Structure 1
Amino acid sequence: MALEIGRRSVLAGMAAMGMARNALAAGPLALKQGPVQANWPSLVDNYRYPEWFRDAKLGLWAHWGPQSVPEQGDWYGRFMYMQGHPMYEHHLKTYGHPSKTGFMDVQNRWTADRWDPDALIARYQKAGAKYFVALACHHDNLDCYDSRYQPWNSLRVGPKKDVVGIWEKAARKAGLRFGVSNHAAHSWHWYQTAYGYDPEGPLKGVRYDAFRLTKADGKGQWWEGLDPQQLYTGAHIVAPDGIDSIDAMNAWHEKHDGQWVEHGPPNDPAYVSKWLMRQIDLVEKYRPDLVYFDDYRLPFGSVGLEAAADYYNRSIDWHGKIDVALTAKKLKPWERFGVVEDVERGFADRIWDEPWQTDTCIGDWFYNIARLKDRSYKSAEQVMQRLADVVSKNGNLLLSIPQPGDGSIDSEEEKILDRMTDWMAINGEAIFASRPWHRFGEGPTTLKTGMQNEAEQKPFTAEDIRFTTKGETLYAILLGWPRGETIIKSLGARALAGRRVERVTLLGGGTISHRQDGDALRFRLPSDAGERFVPVLRIDGKGLTA
């Protein structure tokens, strides 16, 4: 069901929470007033893409929180409550039955005891990151920062630290732009499995911890003073009694709470009110250069528009102009001029008129020890191929490096970052502060535009070439190391309307002999690539970038 919860519902929610009706108009919660109004035409009319974002091209993301603790990958806090799922089985063996040991207990096991943010930021910066993004809150609803409106936060649970605040200081000290990601709009339906039960087995029908725990139950416990219902979001869509098979239970959840929805919980406007307060608090406190919303269009319709207007007006207050980036997904074409579109784990098949971003991870979003054991991370070569493809189409790449609960990174991830660092030291000039050419590239590998389609794409080859420009210099990035003669049809004399390629230089390798005829530019690279990959050529000649 499509439902936009507007300002009237927000105020009603505040009343339900015992808050004054003018809470949005005064005090620390006040929406920042300014030229930007909470509607799409105003966002589009006022927004201008910041030059720092257009120049940055590569961001590194710490998609890190308590779901990293079990080292099992993504969505542990939902799947651990689904009997028959591998994460349920892992939880049963490792922590106990979810009726007794729930995800809140896993959250408290988040130690961060090997976390060295300054060292990690330095490594990410060497690997090419120009901005850094910290996860502020995922679907598990724990705020990883000094949250004014969510008692379940990382200062009271788990590491007992202001994780976002510490990341922010480290990033800014290193000269990086700083961003935050907010995924909390979906917690309410994502967490409903925690109110369920085993449909089979010795504890059949026994409800999980979220169903039975109240604030009073915390007396004498580690969570004394906290209300589990504020974490688990409340029983909005609860599986009925009497489901007697795992398949039937999974089918029930898939139908009722397993869909990705963009509205708030029916009959609970307080949930949306609290989300808005948390978002305003996050922006006010850390002044991020980028905010990532894990939402289609904007969270909760008109409420998301209020959050966007608040953020842009605050930027005007901080910088004298809108100098921030706000991202959301599946925007309408004209909305991309008021908010940066993010294409999660996906591709574009053309040059976009407006800057955009894709986000991906070298493994699972949350740390999965299996990726280390079977060496199934994306390689540094694959990362650079992806970066070149995105940049050639006017986009940025936001790349996540998963961390286990202790905050370290593993040896394979270190090797990937080291190889990225080596590549950037030679080829970074073709990436940073570049702009697209009139063609993004050429080659046999076709890409399907859209989100969540990485697994469908065929590997890039040496015949796949991407172009970038900087001033009067044209760069050709070969997505594989060629063997034999390379032919670039886009640089033939006819394609260039008679303009001549005067010099071809392999970055890090010197001048390359070439021949330009009517059909193509032709040359050969050294056959022994050694440890190098994704070679970059600087193409010089008058008017080539015109």
Structure 2
Amino acid sequence: MRYAPSVESLRTHEAPAWFHDAKFGIFIHWTMASIPAFAPQAGSLIDIVGENPLDFQRLNPYAEWYWNTMKIEGSETALHHAAMYGDAPYEAFREPFEASVEAWDPAPLLDLVAASGARYVVLVTKHHDGFALWPTGVQNPKYPGWHTRRDLVGEIAQGARERGLRFGVYYSGGLDWTFEPRPTLGIADLFDTVPRSGEYRSYVDAHYRELMGRYRPDVLWNDIAYPPGPGMLELFADFYNGNPDGVVNDRWTQPGTKEFPLPLHHDFRTPEYTQYPDIVARKWEATRGIGHSYGYVANEDPANIISPGALVQSFVDAVSKNGNLLLNIGPKGDGSVDPRHEAPVRALGRWLAINGEAIYGTRPWERAALEAVDATDTIHQVRFTRGDGRVFATVFDTPAAGPLRFPGAGMPPFVRARLLGGRAVACQELGGEVVVEFPAVEESPAHCLELEL
């Protein structure tokens, strides 16, 4: 069908099957801020915002916000910048970044993405600093030539597709510090710094259309907001008409419009560093970094890095509730990845190699969760998915060998059970419970039981 630039027409578009099936994507935040690679280590952004909603930016743990945070007098980032770089402007990081980019080999990064088990990749093409990672033909009227000489977007798009991955583009439509250099301090003034001029709106529209025409993305992942005025619905319609299987996220709010803060249209929601407590009918995608930042942080507290076990369990929880996971990798300035960040990514890939049947191509079951009790009376969280006449019960952590008891009322009627990566397991109904004879197995963050209906 052809989509018209109207809310009624666009809302007939839904997240396509591939996006439901994929479950897992890799986000890549690689900006000039990876050269200073610094951020305060005061906790997670959610906690910091909760404690300091009006001036949380001075403690912002997101390294990619360096240019904003360094402008806040007395902030840790401002003090760090003065000590390390004196009065050098943020723009001074451009040439070191460009020099690193010239020598970069994309294969190791893309091989890591493929090894993770991800089915799609979303690349930051322009973050809030306005620096484009492709040699755009759209001139920045405030900072002429504000883009990489090398086509990082094109090379990553090509490499991703060569590895069988879908490709998407992140673009900061809501903030661009080359158009609006005032620093934002907190929640109250965040949307006040969204550029609202017709010049900026035309610039953003031209960038998006260039990205769509040149790189054919499957995902348009906008951030913060979209400049107010006409043209957004036309952009969506043209995107869908060129790629009916494309998807757009939910961060397209237009400040100053009567719909604000809700977007006029989206295919999926994007909770950040949090997840929904139960099944959500509309598709969603949890997004988070491996630590407390998306951009690379050289001074990162190791305690902030998610463990392989916590990553697997968080991912399974999202999938059971109709969500995907978009997990961020933040390369260093030279494009390499911190080994501490590689470890959980590769661990998730190894887990998926065994248990992918319970993830890829599945849909939520009637309920997302319940608890099971093992032979030592230890309680284990369980998450459910379904597909192809089967229900998968993914048991968190490693139960003790012996009877694993599920509440009978919460289980599907099944005829046999099998442990993915293992063998069939005996099961019976006993005293209102379903009892599975769980075998002795190696330790794992989660074990998947296939229940044949």
Give the TM-score of the pair, scaled to structure 2.
0.82
Letter in structure 2 aligned against 1:76: Y
Aligned-residue offset at 1:414:
2.4
Change (3 A) 1:145 1:153: farther
1:508 and 1:262, CA in 2 relative to 1: closer, same or farther beyond 3 A?
Answer: farther
Q: Judging changes above 3 Å, is the alpha-carbon distance between structure 1 residues 181 and 133 closer, same or farther for their aligned structure 2 residues? A: same
CA distance in 2, matches of 1:164, 1:520: 54
Between the aligned partners of 1:349 and 1:425, the Cα distance in structure 2 is: 27
Cα deviation for residue 148 of structure 1 reads: 1.6
| Residues 1:66 and 1:501: Cα distance change in structure 2 (over 3 Å) | same
Match for residue 191 of structure 2? Answer: 261
1:148-200 CA distance string (max 9 Å, x none): 2145999956863111111011011111110010114212xxx3xxxxxxxxx
Contact 1:475/1:537 (<8 A) preserved:
yes
Within the candidate set 264, 272, 289, 2:201 is matched to: 272
- Deviation track 1:378-400 (CA, whole Å, cap 9, x = no partner) reads 12222211211111111211111
Per the TM alignment, residue 511 of structure 1 is displaced from its structure 2 partner at its CA by 2.5
- The AA in structure 1 aligned to 2:404 is T
Identity %: 28
1:51 aligns with 2:9: no
Where does structure 1 differ by over 6 angstroms across 4 or more consecutive aligned residues? 152-155, 330-337
Which residue type is aligned with residue 44 of structure 1?
R
Show the 5 A alignment for 1:168-247. Answer: 168-187=157-176, 191=177, 232-234=178-180
Given that 2:313 and 2:445 are in contact with CA atoms closer than 8 Å, whether structure 1 keeps it comes out as: no
2:75 maps to which residue? 85
Residues 1:165 and 2:167 aligned together:
no
Amino acid in the other structure paired with 1:281: E
Gaps of 5+ in 1: 1-33, 192-231, 239-252, 316-321, 445-460
Letter in 2 for 1:306: E
Residue 42 of structure 1 corresponds to: 9
2: distance between equivalents of 1:514 and 1:336?
50
Counterpart of 1:71 in structure 2 is 37
RMSD of the TM alignment (CA)? 3.1
Q: Secondary structure at the match of 2:191?
A: coil
Gaps of 5+ in 2: 39-62, 254-258, 373-377
1:467 aligned partner, one-letter code: F
What is residue 286 of structure 1 aligned with on the other side? 215
CA distance, structure 1, for counterparts of residue 272 and residue 143 of structure 2:
26
Note if contact 2:417-2:425 (Cα within 8 Å) is conserved in structure 1: yes
Query: Which of 1 and 2 has greater Rg?
Result: 1
Contact 1:466 1:477 in 2 (8 A): yes
- How far the C-alpha of 1:115 sits from its partner, in A, is 3.4
Alignment of 1:286-435 (within 5 A): 286-295=215-224, 300=228, 302-315=230-243, 322-329=244-251, 338-363=266-291, 364-371=293-300, 374-435=302-363
SS of the equivalent of 2:2 reads coil
Aligned to 2:426: 513
Three-state SS of the structure 2 residue aligned to 1:261 is: helix
Query: Does structure 1 retain, via aligned residues, the 8 Å contact 2:173–2:224?
Result: no
What is the aligned length? 414
Deviations 1:282-301 (A, max 9, x none): 111111011101135x5536
For residue 85 of structure 2, what is the amino acid of its counterpart?
Y
Q: TM-score, normalised by structure 1?
A: 0.69
| Residues 461-540 of structure 1: pairs in structure 2 closer than 5 A | 463-483=380-400, 485-489=403-407, 492=408, 494-495=409-410, 500-517=413-430, 519-523=432-436, 525-526=438-439, 529-530=442-443, 532-540=444-452
Distance between the aligned counterparts of 1:382 and 1:432, measured in 2?
19
Shift of 1:375: 4.8
Report if aligned partners of 1:66, 1:405 keep a CA contact under 8 Å in 2: yes
Partner of 2:131: 142
**Deviation (angstroms), 1:142:** 0.7
Question: 1:295/1:157 Cα in 2 relative to 1: closer, same or farther (>3 Å)?
Answer: closer
CA distance in 2, matches of 1:61, 1:80: 25
1:366 is displaced (CA, Å) by 0.5
Work out whether 1:105 is the aligned partner of 2:105. Answer: no
The 3-state SS of whatever aligns with 1:94 is helix
1:437-448 mapped onto 2 (5 Å cutoff): 437-443=365-371
Q: 1:475 to 1:152 in 2, by over 3 A?
A: farther
Q: Distance in 1 between matches of 2:119 and 2:422?
A: 26
